[in-house]
Amino acid sequence: MTMEPSLRLKDSIAPHLVSSLRRAIIATRLRPGEALSEKDIAGRFGVGRQPVREAFIELSEAGLVQVLPSRGTYVMKVSMRAIANARFVREAVECAIARAASALITAKDVVRLRRLIERQRETSGLADRSAFAVLDENFHQTLAEIVDCDYAARIVEGARAQTDRVRYLSLPGASPVPLLVAQHAAIVDAIEAGDADGAECEMRKHLREILNALPRIAQNYPELFEDEVMPAHTQVLHRP
């Protein structure tokens, strides 16, 4: 198990621990189905067992780990149903964010987004997928900040816990980075132009990209998935 360097005890140790474990699960440094040792993680981060227990509970609520009494704690396998449901929620919220941003965006906001996109382009040739993953998250967070809706940002962040797992796996080929960067640019183009309908359309197209990649990822990594059936609302999106 490879994770980040040890953390020092702080009042805010639990959020830091949750964040580190979450990133390790998304990047598959902690593999689906892998057992998590409370003792080992406490030692690795230089903390007591209580913060680790609290982190496990929070990660369980996010659908990333499973706590089985008297049996242990395990990284959840990737669920098509969980991913499809999370994407469905993200589409509803983030399309609304894109529409609102088209009326609220400033020149300063545009510069900020364009810089993020340029940095994303710079990562397209890198073998380390984590650099793009961080910038991708920053892009969507920035859009939420533009519309000044903290609650929407929290909803998106929670849903990303599931979609980011498959997004990370998709980056080697199913959803190439240049394609995702181009989709980000198209979203910003529409928002900057004040085109609410166009911004919503481009955001929806971007978030549905994961549905195109999902079958190929499940085929390439069958051992990481726990199911093969997507919810009805997702199947409808694929009907001709």
CB of 93 within 8 A of CB of 152? Answer: yes
CB of 165 within 8 A of CB of 83? Answer: yes
Q: Which two tokens stand for residue 33?
A: 């189905």
220 Cβ contact partners less than 8 Å away, ≥ 6 residues apart: 169, 174
List, as own/partner pairs, every contact residues 51-59 make where C-beta atoms lie below 8 angstroms and the sequence separation is at least 24, other chains included: 51/13, 51/14, 51/17, 52/17, 54/14, 55/14, 55/17, 55/18, 55/21, 58/14, 58/18, 59/18, 59/21, 59/22, 59/25
Burial letters 146-169, b for 16+ CB under 10 A, else e: bbebeebbebbeebbbbbbbbbbb
Res 9: pLDDT: 40
Q: What is the DSSP letter of 224?
A: G
3-state secondary structure of 32: coil
CB of 80 within 8 A of CB of 227? Answer: yes
**Full pLDDT tens readout for the chain, 240 residues:** 555 544 444 446 677 899 899 989 988 889 889 999 999 999 988 888 889 999 999 999 888 999 988 889 999 998 888 888 999 999 999 999 999 999 999 999 999 999 999 999 998 777 667 788 889 999 999 999 999 998 998 898 888 888 888 877 776 655 788 899 999 999 999 999 999 999 999 999 999 988 887 888 888 888 888 866 666 565 555 544
For each of the domains in the chain, give its residue range(s) and CATH number, in order of start. Answer: 13-75 (1.10.10.10), 80-222 (1.20.120.530)
Res 123: pLDDT: 87
Q: Which two tokens stand for residue 106?
A: 């400033």
